[in-house]
Amino acid sequence: MQGAIAGSVGRDPRSIGLGVVGMGRHGSRYVKHLLEGVPGCHLAAVSRRDEAAGRAFAERHGVLFLGDWRELVARPEVEAVVAVTPPGLNRDICLASALAGKPMLIEKPLSLTVAEGREMVGAARAAGVALMTAQTLRFTPVLERLRATLPLIGPIEYLCLVMRAERPPHHWLDDPAQAGGGVLLEIGIHLLDLIRYLTGEEAVEAAGEMLQRHTTRVEDLAQVRFRLASGLPCYVEVSRVSGGRVCRAEAVGQGGHLLADVDRSLLTRTEGRTIVSVEPVPDRPTVVMVLEAFVRCLATGVPAPVSGEDGLRAVVMADACYRAAREGRPVPVILTA
C-alpha cells in the first residue's frame, strides 16, 4: 500500500515521523502505542516480513506499508527508524539508517556480537545521528524507585537480579545465526544493562554457567556472576524453562535490603526481620516511555538516555559470560579489543 498516512490532516508539523521495522509480538506494541498517540511523533510507515499481514494492517489503519525495510529507511516521510526485529537484522538496519542520515531506536540486544555493535556505534557516530538502545527495563517505574531508594539501606553488599519467562513460541530464538545467543542475550541483556543503571559502575570480571534444558543450540538457563570495579558482586539468573514469569531485583545493603517485584510493581524494604515498607509504584507501559525519551532526544538534542554505547556495553558483558562458560573460569570484561 502506498496510500496516505492516517491522521496527517491537522497534524503538528513538528511531529517526527517514525518508521517501524518489525511487527511481531513486541513490534506490535510499538505500533499500537504510536497509533494511540505518543507526543511529538507519529507512525509514518511500517515494514514486516509477513507482507500479507503487513498490507492488511496498513489498509485498516491508513498507514504506509513497505515490504522491504530498505525502502522504509529511504522514504522521506520516515525521519527516524525504530527496529524491532530479530537481532540478526540490527546491524544492516543501523548501517543503512546511518547512511541515510536517520536517527534510530534499536531494540535490545543492540547486536549479535561485540564486533557488530562496535561497527554500529561507529557508523552512527560518523554520521552524526542518534542511536538509542531500547533497554526498556531501565524505564520500569519500580526499578527507577529502587535506584532512588538505594541510599536507605546503606553501602550495598551485593545485587541479585532474576528474570524467568515461559518457553518461547519463536523458533528463531534457538538459531544462533538469528538470535546470536540464548536466553542471556535475548532477555538477560536487560539485567546486564540494569547492573550498570543501578550501580553506575562497570563490570570488570564475569563468570557463568549456561544450560540447555529444552533448547538444542543455545542456552535457555543461565546463571552468571559479575565483579564490578569497586569489587561489588552481582548475581544474575535468567531462564525460559518455567510455566510462568518472574522479574525482580534485590539489593542487599548493610542497613537492610530492597526487593523490586517488577510484575506486581511493588518495592519492599526490609531491616533485619522487619518489613519496613511495601510500596506500590504506579506503573506505565515502558515502550511508551522509551518512545517519549527517543523523541525528546531528537527534538531537543539531549543525549539518548540509553545510548548505542550503553547497548554495546551490555553485549560486551554477555560476551564475557559466554566466554567464561566455555572456558570454565572467570574472565575479564573488556570493552576494547
Nearest to 132 by CA among 293, 314, 261: 293
**What are the beta bridge partners of residue 18?**
43, 80
Label the pairing between strands 221-228 and 274-280.
unpaired
If one counts every other C-beta atom within 10 angstroms of the C-beta of residue 169, the result is: 7
63 within 8 A of 71, measured Cβ to Cβ: no
- Cα distance between the two ends of the chain: 46
35 within 8 A of 7, measured Cβ to Cβ: no
User: Residue type at 132?
Assistant: M
Length of the chain: 337
What 301-306 contacts at long range (C-beta under 8 Å, 24+ apart), as own/partner pairs, is: 304/130, 304/131, 304/132, 304/133, 305/132, 305/138, 306/132, 306/133, 306/134, 306/135, 306/138, 306/193
CA 336 → CA 19, 20, 191, 200, distances in Å? Answer: 32, 31, 22, 19
Measured CA to CA, the distance from residue 231 to residue 287 in angstroms comes to: 33
Nearest to 144 by CA among 281, 304, 312: 281
Q: Can you spell out the DSSP letters for 88-150? A: GGHHHHHHHHHHTT--EEEESSS-SSHHHHHHHHHHHHHHT--EEEE-GGGG-HHHHHHHHHG
In tens digits, the chain (337 residues) has pLDDT values of: 344 344 454 567 789 999 999 998 899 999 999 999 999 999 999 999 999 999 999 999 989 999 999 999 999 999 999 999 999 999 999 999 999 999 999 999 999 999 999 999 999 999 999 999 999 999 999 999 999 999 999 999 999 999 999 887 777 777 777 777 799 999 999 999 999 999 999 999 999 999 999 888 899 999 999 999 999 999 999 999 988 899 999 999 999 999 999 999 999 999 999 999 999 999 999 999 999 999 999 999 999 999 999 999 999 999 999 999 999 999 999 976 4
Q: Can you spell out the DSSP letters for 306-327? A: SBHHHHHHHHHHHHHHHHHHHH
CA 181 → CA 24, 88, 203, distances in Å? Answer: 19, 11, 20
Does the global pTM surpass 0.75?
Answer: yes
